[in-house]
Structure 1
Amino acid sequence: MIDKLEFLITVASEKSFSRAAELCGVTQPTLSAGIKQLEDSLGVLLVNRSSRFHGLTAEGERVLEWAKRIVGDARAMRQEVRTLREGLSGQLRIAVIPTAEGIVSALTTPYREKHPHVRFKVISASSAEVMGMLDNLEIDAGVTYLDNDPLGRVRTVPLCSERYRLLTTAGNPLGDRDRVTWTEVGKIDLCLLTPDMQNRRIVDRLIGPDVAPILESNSVILLYDHVKSGRWATIMPEKLAKTMGTEPPLRSIPIVEPEVGHEIGLVAPLRDPVIPLVGALVAEAKALAESGRLAD
């Protein structure tokens, strides 16, 4: 039964039988037969389909919610039994918004020291993708904004406040200033993250949605590299700018009027009992928050 529920979760996430089968490691006929067996056992149609996936039925949507809960609990049970036998081990999957990538090592490094048999898979994703992957059981935890978009039923641990800097060079417009306003920043040429990123939506509200960047990218490394060339400017969280480096000729200039901060933190499934790998990560996040190391 569990494998068939996993089939349903993956099909709903991928919206494709072929991609779902590939991810589940089975043939497409095997996946389709598994979902059909699930439908037969429940006595309802779960998937609207012909030769293609056309969405879930109303009953399918409800079963999907139960499937996520049951599969999540089954995985937690298996991991807890393995932990009792072998200690904490396995892979911890984390998705992180690009602007928070500079703080992840503050979680993973002490975690690794305490639990040397744990491996990490850390991917960069938009805030919406982080929450979607968490809901679909594709990741174990995420690092994202806590105070902007609704998060739903998740466990949260606040870590730090994201504050913003104009990253530029001394020879560029505003590059000789000690501080700048959002209005001033909105009048110069900028390279920014793409509109699907929540950081970009925050910036748009502050400089105005009609400001058109001269370059957009979903990579903060690409933005940083352009600024470092000496002819570009971007808006970057203070901690990320420090992580990437602000040695001359780069300048990291505080943006004021208004001074804005948005809360960044860990999000994890609200499940009891907690998956051991995730429970250890939550404990590490709480210790990091209490230490105040990210407040500098």
Structure 2
Amino acid sequence: MQFRYLRYFVTLAQTRHFARAASACGVSQPTLSAGLNALEQELGKRLVERDRRFIGLTGHGEAILPWAQQIVGALASMNQTISVTSAHLEGEVTLAAIPAALPYVGILGDALLRRFPGVSLTVQSGTSREIERRLRAFEVDAGLTYLDHEPLTNMLSIPLYGERFVFVARRSEALDGRNSISWQEAARYPLCLLHQGMQFRRILDARLSHLGLMAAPRANADSNVSLLALVKEASFATIVPDGYANLLSGLDWAVFLPFEEPDDLQRVGVVVVDREPLSPLVSAILTVAKSLAAPE
């Protein structure tokens, strides 16, 4: 069985588009189609439903996809190991981060690139559930996500920092000189929040419920940048991780207030799938994460 045919198949399952899969594999679309046909003939089963375009995987295709992903991922890791010398590591580390953790990417990325000059970094944003899927499908090397709320199974994790909630609103006479705000007062503002598919929102909802409150946002988004734009232009208020307060301190139009009743710290850290052996690139990001790890 030709390895490149499995790579074509895995890439097509990921992109769900023949032209994009061919481009990602560095081949023409007819070459990719021919490779898929050869793989189907060798296995004696149809793997892909298609009619001039990608429709989906057949039942047989879905069944073999996890095995194909493991084979492709293992060979990629083997190639990394072959290329590594004791003094030099090269390759691309792909990190998927929840939106709440994006302000920390600069710290982690800087430490990684300084420690391993031959390494490049690609950062993707996604929900905690998307990150879990990408990790198990060998689509990313590591994730940056919550460790305690809805913890992922069969993962190695390294805690990096603790997160708290911060209230954000436009500057006003009512908020001038304030050093904090109560949850009850914050809940009365017209809020825009991350949607409930985001783990940060689910943690926030649990905190509000514990206090006998409920969020009723007039706007939802999947990006903290979108929320901050709504606060600036539409007179909303929002609640974000304190990392954004540190990242955006100094904005002349915004006020960031901690809550009078502080919540428990939510630990955020690096996670990788617990599989042996670890690839050199995965080992590299774990090494860097350990050097930055928060004390227990």
Normalising TM by the smaller chain, what interval? Answer: 0.7 to 0.9
Once the two structures are TM-superposed, the CA of residue 156 in structure 1 deviates from its matched residue by 1.9
In the alignment, what sits opposite 2:6? 5
Conserved? CA contact 2:95–2:121, under 8 Å: yes
What is the root-mean-square deviation in Å for CA atoms of aligned residues? 3.0
**Cα 1:247–1:23 shift into 2, 3 Å:** closer
Which whole-Å CA distance do the structure 2 matches of 1:172 and 1:99 have between them? Answer: 29
Once the two structures are TM-superposed, the CA of residue 234 in structure 1 deviates from its matched residue by 1.4
**Cα 1:47–1:256 shift into 2, 3 Å:** farther
Matched position secondary structure for 1:44: coil
Which whole-Å CA distance do the structure 1 matches of 2:174 and 2:221 have between them? Answer: 22
Which whole-Å CA distance do the structure 1 matches of 2:31 and 2:89 have between them? Answer: 33
Which whole-Å CA distance do the structure 2 matches of 1:190 and 1:100 have between them? Answer: 21
Once the two structures are TM-superposed, the CA of residue 241 in structure 1 deviates from its matched residue by 1.1
The 5-angstrom pairing of residues 274-289 of structure 1 reads: 274-289=278-293
Conserved? CA contact 1:94–1:123, under 8 Å: yes
Which whole-Å CA distance do the structure 1 matches of 2:23 and 2:173 have between them? Answer: 50
In the alignment, what sits opposite 2:152? 151
Once the two structures are TM-superposed, the CA of residue 74 in structure 1 deviates from its matched residue by 0.6
Unaligned runs of 5+ in 1: none
In the alignment, what sits opposite 1:188? 189
Once the two structures are TM-superposed, the CA of residue 161 in structure 1 deviates from its matched residue by 2.4
Q: Which amino acid aligns with 1:219?
A: S
Are 1:237 and 2:206 an aligned pair? no
Conserved? CA contact 2:157–2:271, under 8 Å: yes
Which whole-Å CA distance do the structure 1 matches of 2:130 and 2:204 have between them? Answer: 19
Once the two structures are TM-superposed, the CA of residue 7 in structure 1 deviates from its matched residue by 1.5
Which whole-Å CA distance do the structure 2 matches of 1:88 and 1:188 have between them? Answer: 51
Conserved? CA contact 1:13–1:136, under 8 Å: no
The 5-angstrom pairing of residues 52-67 of structure 1 reads: 52-67=53-68
Which whole-Å CA distance do the structure 2 matches of 1:173 and 1:215 have between them? Answer: 23
Once the two structures are TM-superposed, the CA of residue 72 in structure 1 deviates from its matched residue by 0.9
CA shift digits 1:101-149 (9 cap, x unpaired): 1212222222222211222222333323323333333322121122334
CA shift digits 1:28-57 (9 cap, x unpaired): 332222122222222333234444434333
Fraction of identical pairs, as percent:
37
Conserved? CA contact 2:22–2:28, under 8 Å: yes
Once the two structures are TM-superposed, the CA of residue 222 in structure 1 deviates from its matched residue by 4.0
Once the two structures are TM-superposed, the CA of residue 73 in structure 1 deviates from its matched residue by 1.0
Conserved? CA contact 1:182–1:258, under 8 Å: no
What TM-score results when the alignment is normalised by the length of structure 1?
A: 0.83
Q: Which amino acid aligns with 2:259?
A: I
Conserved? CA contact 1:185–1:207, under 8 Å: no
With 95-104 and 39-48 compared, the bigger mean Cα shift is at: 39-48
Conserved? CA contact 1:17–1:28, under 8 Å: yes
The 5-angstrom pairing of residues 72-83 of structure 1 reads: 72-83=73-84
What TM-score results when the alignment is normalised by the length of structure 2?
A: 0.83
Which whole-Å CA distance do the structure 2 matches of 1:34 and 1:109 have between them? Answer: 40
Aligned counterpart for 1:217 among listed residues 213, 221, 233: 221
Unaligned runs of 5+ in 2: none
In the alignment, what sits opposite 1:160? 161
**Cα 1:246–1:237 shift into 2, 3 Å:** farther
The number of equivalent residue pairs is 292
Which whole-Å CA distance do the structure 1 matches of 2:275 and 2:251 have between them? Answer: 44
**Cα 1:283–1:172 shift into 2, 3 Å:** farther
In the alignment, what sits opposite 1:272? 276
CA shift digits 1:144-181 (9 cap, x unpaired): 12233453433222222221011224527667654444
Which whole-Å CA distance do the structure 2 matches of 1:78 and 1:155 have between them? Answer: 23
